Amino acid sequence: MDRDEWFRCYYEDVILMNNSDNKRRTQALLKYKKLPEVTVSSFGSRVPKQRSYTGRKPVIPSALADTLCADLSIIQELLEKLNTVLGTSYTLGTAGVRSVLEDCISKKYDFGTAYAHLRPFWYSDLTTTVDDLCEREVQYRRMLEDVLVNDIIIYPRVPPRRVWDLYSNRVVPWYVARQRPWAISHAWMDKCSRQDVLTAINGCEWPVPIPEHTSLDHIRIEMLNLGAEYVWLDVLCLRQQGGLMEGLRMEEWKVDVPTIGSVYAGADKVVCYLSGLGWPLNREAYYSEDDRCWFKRAWTLQEIGEHMIIGGGTGNEVLQVCFEEKLSWLHRKNGQHRVYDVLSQMQERVSTNPVDKVAGMAYLLHSDSIPAYHGEQSEEDAWSLLVDVAAHQCQWDLLFLYPQPGDRTKTWWPSWRQVMTEIPQGQHHSNLQIGCCDQDGKTDANAYYNGYIIEEAFVQGLFGVHDLLEEFAKEFGLLEEFDMKTLAKYIKSAKEFRKQLVESAKEWAKEWVQVSVQMSAQVWVKKLAKKLAWPGKCESIFQRWTAQRITERITERITAEEFAEEFVKYVKELDLGERHYRVGQLVVKDYTRTECSFKITASHQHPIPDGTYTLLGTMAKLSGIHWVIGRRLPDGRLQKVSIAQMNMEVASMDSLVSQSIAKRASTTILA
């Protein structure tokens, strides 16, 4: 089953509520307005909204929810309690009533679970309710199975597996509620500040980690006061570690973890506990540098929305406004979830499991499909799979805007290590057709680019670190060509040109002096030892000659260190503040074989040696032509070297095509 087929199959029943759902929902809301007021309370919270709820919604107390249906003396007693809570006067003779009640008793439901399953149907025809729920369960299980194809989730916006029904205080499968839930975002507390609680709310299926000095009752009451009916809370609705079915958890997480972003994006509202789940809002959450801080967690990046409600309020309006402004700023910073916007923020965040940083940004990249979650996977492997299925715009950004070739299995996109170290400055937008596929239609193997190409062009004059080093080395006059290239190797890929260049030069000098002097001394001392066995005049000659060679070698290395220090001083003295880009020439031949030259720029410091290349091009509305500079491999694939730009004033893509300099719609396999 492919994505389109899956969507057609499950659209009406799963993605949107059908007409019968809407009709039942409308009926229920009208009935609720006529119910008597009820109150549920919990003590010990410093948050006013967590102390009690009073309203006409059919909310039941926990004590009633915990009562087993089988413990009620007769079926009539179960019916009477439902009539009381929902304001009806059904009898066992009412159509469908006996069958739904007997079904709940046979399944050994407690009252809360029975109430959660029956409430959505209670004000409508109950004769088909048991069958409807069975069909929904089968349909939903099939949907979750079909959405995972070859370890790829083919539709990321799959609804959550479970939701917390606040009225019944029970976690129920999504197919029971079939409504958009609210979602709770929170800062996870350290293990020493939380406790694992077994609760009937989730059927005691797994221990629920809850911070000290709060409870699920506190959270429930606050959410009811805010107006929620169904809520998605990870500790209750996402199977946690420590339960009896650990193998099932790992299977569920393949789909449930990567689609968490969809839950928050599709939530009716998002309530955020910045100080910890259920905890009162405090000033420390704003300034904290602790890795557990909400603003530093990798998972919370995808939970940021436009209109978030701050939970745990204590009445401090000034503090509330400060946090609201910060959340609003974060939402604007996220922008349109462009890949480099997301990556730059993920650089500053942390996760308990390193691979979670990759998983935590999957939904934000607006991919049509996302990889399944595997907690034991490496970051590089997870990133590779994510790029394979990423949206075309994301792939274009990685290909055309990242200045360095990838240092892992592919050159056309940067590795996870690279993007967590260096992010290019300044983003541009374009409509580029690029995808990942191979001949049999599977993901991974090859990536191709359909667009403009210049098969052969000479690129020169793009000033880089190597050029600066060579220029200075000639003035210094103390290093051989080999030594100069070795030094360039250590400093050419500096992130912040001046700062990193200085650090790299110092590190290189230290390493080179230590290693090279040691190796040279060992070699020549061995030679010296052999010569010492020779008699007479030869002995003194070879001793002097060997000693001289050792001195020369050591002097060379010390001189190299001096060179590095002098080069550091030279770089510090350069005025590089205004130098944001390098200017070079692109030399090509048009259809008359006449040589043409165009100005080309590089807005980065990655070196591009003079030479002949193949160029891939795309247009950007505001920044002209973007080029990927690469070399053809023997098998025809293009190996990326770097990137450059051509301003609109220099040439347009149409003019390059009309002169037969560039070709249109050429398919190129990327290495």
DSSP 12: I
In this prediction, residue 431 carries a pLDDT of 46
* CA–CA separation, 466 and 490 (whole Å): 10
What are 336-349's pLDDT values in tens digits? Answer: 668 898 999 999 99
Q: What is the mean pLDDT of residues 364-369?
A: 88
In this prediction, residue 629 carries a pLDDT of 97
pTM of this structure:
0.80
In this prediction, residue 473 carries a pLDDT of 52
The residue ranges of every structural domain in the chain are 3-35+58-143, 448-463+580-668, 480-574
What are 80-118's pLDDT values in tens digits? Answer: 999 999 999 999 999 999 999 999 999 999 999 999 999
In this prediction, residue 329 carries a pLDDT of 86
CB 78 within 8 A of CB 104: yes
Does 484 score more than 50 pLDDT? no
Q: What is the mean pLDDT of residues 652-664?
A: 90
Smallest CA-to-CA distance from 608 within 517, 500, 492 is with: 492
Does 418 score more than 80 pLDDT? yes
670: burial class by Cβ within 10 Å (0-12, 13-18, 19+)? buried
In this prediction, residue 360 carries a pLDDT of 94
Instruction: Print the SS3 string covering 619-652.
Output: EECCCEEEEEEEEECCCCCEEEEEEEEECCCCCC
* CA–CA separation, 330 and 304 (whole Å): 7
What are 579-602's pLDDT values in tens digits? Answer: 457 889 999 998 888 999 999 999
In this prediction, residue 559 carries a pLDDT of 53
Q: How many residues does the chain have?
A: 671
In this prediction, residue 519 carries a pLDDT of 59
In this prediction, residue 569 carries a pLDDT of 57
Residue 461: pLDDT band with limits 50, 70, 90: confident
What are 129-162's pLDDT values in tens digits? Answer: 999 999 999 999 999 999 999 999 999 999 999 9
- For the chain, the average pLDDT equals 83
Amino acid identity for residue 546 in this structure: T
Does 428 score more than 50 pLDDT? no
Least confident of 147-151, 229-233, 365-369: 365-369
Q: Which residue has the higher pLDDT, 202 or 18?
A: 202
In this prediction, residue 504 carries a pLDDT of 46
Query: How far is the CA of 102 from the CAs of 52, 69, 92, 99, in angstroms?
Result: 34, 10, 11, 5
In this prediction, residue 301 carries a pLDDT of 94
Secondary structure class of 457 (helix, strand, coil): strand
Q: What is the mean pLDDT of residues 525-542?
A: 49
Q: Which residue has the higher pLDDT, 311 or 7?
A: 311
In this prediction, residue 434 carries a pLDDT of 47
Residue 512: pLDDT band with limits 50, 70, 90: very low
* CA–CA separation, 452 and 656 (whole Å): 10
Q: What is the mean pLDDT of residues 541-562?
A: 52
Query: How far is the CA of 84 from the CAs of 37, 104, 169, in angstroms?
Result: 12, 18, 17
Secondary structure class of 470 (helix, strand, coil): helix
* CA–CA separation, 212 and 276 (whole Å): 10
| Residue 368 CA neighbour count, 13 Å, CB half | 14
